[in-house]
Amino acid sequence: MNLPKRLFPGRACALLAVWALATVPWLVPTAWSQSNPPGTAQVVRLQAAELSTVWTYPERTAPAQVLARNESRLAAEVSGTLLRWKADVGATVRRGAVLAQIDPTDYELALQRAQAAQASARARLKLAEAQLQRSRELVAQGFFSQEALAVRETEVALARADNDAADAQRSTAQRQLDKTLLRAPFDGSVVQRLAQTGEAVAPGSLLYVLAESGYAEVSAALSAADAASLRGGRDWRFEPQDTAERLPLVLLRIAPTLDAAARTQSARLGFGASPGATPPPGTLGTLRWTESQPHIPAALVVRRQGKLGVFLDDAGVARFTPLPNAQEARAVPTRLPGNARIIVQGQATLQDGQALR
């Protein structure tokens, strides 16, 4: 149909054409078609940054528990009847405090016998030494033979040996008597009491379980990879369960062998210079530490030809750099220099060797 020209003046037609080109992108020639004739490499507009400005130091965590440095199972060392116990479960005791007493009567009598034997041995030794001295004087005067003097010297040597044996016997009896008192080997708290008044006990009978106070350690079971990360990490902290408190730690040791069943390594950490502020033994919580090796964020890692890696800006050209041991959706440890320029935007569609601008 032919419309009158007066309905579409020339200026209105020009405006309509400009509007169509502006609102329909496919009608506009692209920068690619203008600047890159067919057969040339595509120019990609991307964003790069120095690696040191984007890498991170991830925080690692592992379940952990506070353990007493010593938790001793204290047993009777002599047999007898338990007369009394002095500390119950939960009690705090000082080193050397008496926890329980076994009837000492038989051991007191044994000590008395040993003391009597010791006194007798000393008297015999004193007499033998006096006789030896007199014999030496008589030999000098010519009234005693050398053979008789040798007999006296032998008698003194035997008396000294008997005296030494009597001294040892007395010390043994005294030690057995001392063992009738069960004493705390360190400052601590009573975890368990098995001592019962009037009960007959024998050597090895368990009477108390005592946990040392003031020197607790944090224990954690780690995989081999986490153990290596902990050893090379920094800023170790313990966060008790249900609290926001984070207590600084020092790394003490990591077991060099794996647990055969769990395939884990045991790590122990201490509370450093303030052991008095440590949580009580048995406290559950989380061990936290910071990786000392920088990591590339997972968002910058892409896959090319079956390998995971990143794109670096190599003098205006994109170079794909594989990252050994990289895993999907996880930050990757790196030893690339901090001044390397890494592509941080648009790397998803980038190909190795493309020009950058």
Quick check: pTM over 0.75? no
Which strands make up the sheet holding 265-270, listed edge to edge?
Answer: 247-248, 234-240, 284-290, 59-67, 217-222, 265-270, 250-254
Distance from C-alpha of 167 to C-alpha of 165, rounded to nearest angstrom = 5
> Given the DSSP bridges, would you call strands 181-183 and 98-102 parallel, antiparallel or unpaired?
antiparallel
Q: Which domains does the chain have, with CATH numbers?
A: 32-56+295-356 (2.40.420), 63-70+215-290 (2.40.30.170), 74-210 (2.40.50.100)
Distance from C-alpha of 354 to C-alpha of 41, rounded to nearest angstrom = 7
Q: Coil, strand or helix: which one is 246? A: coil
Distance from chain centroid for Cα 112: 51
Per-residue pLDDT of the chain (357 residues), as tens digits, is 444 444 344 454 444 444 444 443 333 333 333 334 444 455 556 788 999 999 999 999 999 999 988 899 999 999 999 999 999 998 999 999 999 999 999 999 999 999 999 999 999 999 999 988 988 888 888 888 888 889 889 999 999 999 999 999 999 999 999 999 999 999 999 999 999 999 999 999 999 999 998 788 999 999 998 999 999 999 999 999 888 788 999 999 999 998 888 899 999 999 876 555 678 888 999 999 999 989 999 999 999 999 999 999 998 899 999 998 888 888 898 999 999 999 998 888 888 988 886
Cβ pair 209, 191 in contact under 8 A: yes
